[in-house]
Structure 1
Amino acid sequence: MNFPFSLSDAAWPLLVALVFVLAGLVKGVVGLGLPTIAMALLALLMTPAQAAALLIVPSLVTNVWQIRPWSALGPLLRRLAPMQVGVFVGTLAGAWALGAPAGAWATVCLGVALIGYAVWGLTGARLTVRAASEPWLGPVIGAMTGLVTAATGVFVIPAVPYLQALGLQRDALIQAMGISFTVSTVALAAGLYFNAQYSSTSLGASALLLLPALAGMALGQSLRHRLSPLLFRKVFLGSLIVLGLHMVIKEMLAP
């Protein structure tokens, strides 16, 4: 992997592992954010495509875990199926049209996506989707999410605002996000493989990074009742804005 600064062979794996500990901690405290914070920080060390490849296994395992309980999965999965088809198709179409997320354009797109997600989260804006609109709006939102995923490796926009607009109860909303993030992760892996950016070496490295991600989640869950989730979320979102601005400005000022 090519880094923008000099790291010893021993230092960079430790730094990457610490990124996943932090990303897992955020997910443990606020219930989401592992892929987002991991992509934001790893993009400072490598291309978005390389970062996305390392993200696959930790994201997949933690989001499959989030889908439980299995007994409540059927009705929600049927309701969200049109959106998830859109996610998968949109991601693969984006991977075919855009290629792997690498280079200045991918970094800028990632920065913009982080800023957009953080600003939306800080405003506390809430939308409402009528049940009659779900059959056509779900696939549209899914396809848009897929295109953003293919371009940036981040799959929260516009999926999360849409899912929150469905009026689901808290447990059902967490499960719905787990479903959407799982489908996005599988589609992202397929897109990376299609663009020859997902090798057995990437898979092995990603599997190893599951351990620090789970350790971070356990730490975050233990801290959840000691910290103010609202304050922690604001700090988390504010940090994403700073990282997003850094990415955009750095690429715009590059010679």
Structure 2
Amino acid sequence: MTSALDPLPIAITALTFLLAGFVKGVIGLGLPTVAMGLLSLVMAPAQAAALLIVPSFVTNVWQLAAGPRFGTLAHRLWPMMVGVVVGTLAGAGFLQGSHAGQAAIALGLALMAYAVLGLTAVRFALPPEAQGGWMGPLIGALTGLVTAATGVFVIPAVPYLGALGLAKDELIQALGLSFTVSTLALAAVLAGSGVFEPGTAGASAFALGPALVGMAMGGWVRGRVSEPVFRRCFFLGLLALGTHLASRALL
């Protein structure tokens, strides 16, 4: 990774996490998606994922702790969380080395899929009998594989959790739980491969400041700007970014 003393990577990292935090402050999610998408334009996906660890962990624990029913949700979703860990560990190495080009393509495609789901406002609903058994671990494992390959942990976890019929506060807390487990699993994979080392951890901790400032700004804007308009612009931007990443890696 470029030296932490170089001003250009410092500026890029700060601005990226300021914007990513702003998006999360407005709509409640999107920090890893925005951060990975933008940072992958200027560095390898594995390096971008390593910078994501501290801001993602802190903001998601904050989101998790703010909810009212952690024990109930943890009991209900633990099979999915086990699947997330297993899938992420099974996909170790996807972001690095000879897989870097494929990781960039996968990240672009994941961003595009996420954007299309957001723009079409597709909503899934699972009947109670389909919410147990094998479904949770399978969704968790697939989310883990996508996390290992792209550094983004929203697909298919977010659509699945949205289909469980949770109340608004429960859904936000469930997302916080899923994102926290994904972040820890990704950190373990990157640490095991030597990508997330003390120097990178320090740079990631530096990124926490801009992310928190961005979240505060986003929270202030949330009550003053139409959320549907902002979401539409956000997902259109992600679609363009994902298309650029995938096409650049293919050329």
TM-score (norm 2): 0.95
* Runs of 5+ consecutive residues of structure 2 not aligned to the other structure: none
CA distance in 2: counterparts of 1:103 and 1:141, whole angstroms: 24
Within the alignment, does 1:143 sit opposite 2:127 as a pair?
Answer: no
Letter in 2 for 1:228: S
Distance 1:70 1:221, change over 3 A: closer
* Deviations, residues 177-204 of structure 1 (Å, cap 9, x unaligned): 0000000000000111122211111111
Shift of the alpha carbon at 1:69? Answer: 3.6
| Residues 239 and 70 (structure 1), Cα distance of their counterparts in 2 relative to 1, 3 Å cut | closer
Deviates more, 1:212-221 or 1:60-69: 60-69
Displacement, 1:99? 5.8
Letter paired with 2:49 = A
Task: Indicate conservation of the 8 Å contact 1:100/1:197, yes or no.
Answer: no
| Pair 1:189-2:187 in alignment | yes
Write out the 4+ residue segments of structure 1 that deviate beyond 4 Å after TM superposition.
none
Report the counterpart of residue 234 of structure 2 in structure 1: 236
Identity of matched residues, %: 56
Match of 1:72 in 2: 69
**Does residue 59 of the first structure (1) align with residue 65 of the second (2)?**
no
2:204 to 184, 203, 206: 206
- Counterpart of 2:141, as a letter, is A
Change (3 A) 1:65 1:156: same
Aligned residues of 1:53 and 1:192 also touching (Cα < 8 A): yes
Opposite residue 103 of structure 1, the aligned amino acid is: A
Distance in 2 (CA, whole Å) between partners of 1:103 and 1:60 is: 24
1:64 and 1:94 map into 2 onto residues whose CA distance is 24
- Bigger mean CA deviation after superposition, 114-123 or 9-18: 9-18
C-alpha RMSD of the superposition: 1.6
Shift of 1:136: 1.3
CA contact (8 A) 2:15 2:210 kept: yes
> What TM-score do you get using the length of structure 1 for normalisation?
0.93
Once the two structures are superposed, residues 125-176 of structure 1 have per-residue CA deviations (whole angstroms, 9 ceiling, x without a partner) of: 1111122222310000000000000000000000000000000011100000
Uncovered stretches (5+) of structure 1, i.e. residues with no partner: 3-7
Alignment check: 8 A CA contact 1:100 1:195 kept: no
Number of equivalences: 248
Asked if residue 46 in structure 1 is aligned to residue 43 in structure 2, the reply is yes
User: Are 1:100 and 2:96 matched, yes or no?
Assistant: yes
Task: Indicate how the Cα distance of structure 1 residues 74 and 245 shifts in structure 2: closer, same or farther if over 3 A, else same.
Answer: same
Opposite residue 54 of structure 1, the aligned amino acid is L
In structure 2, give the amino acid aligned to 1:91. Answer: T
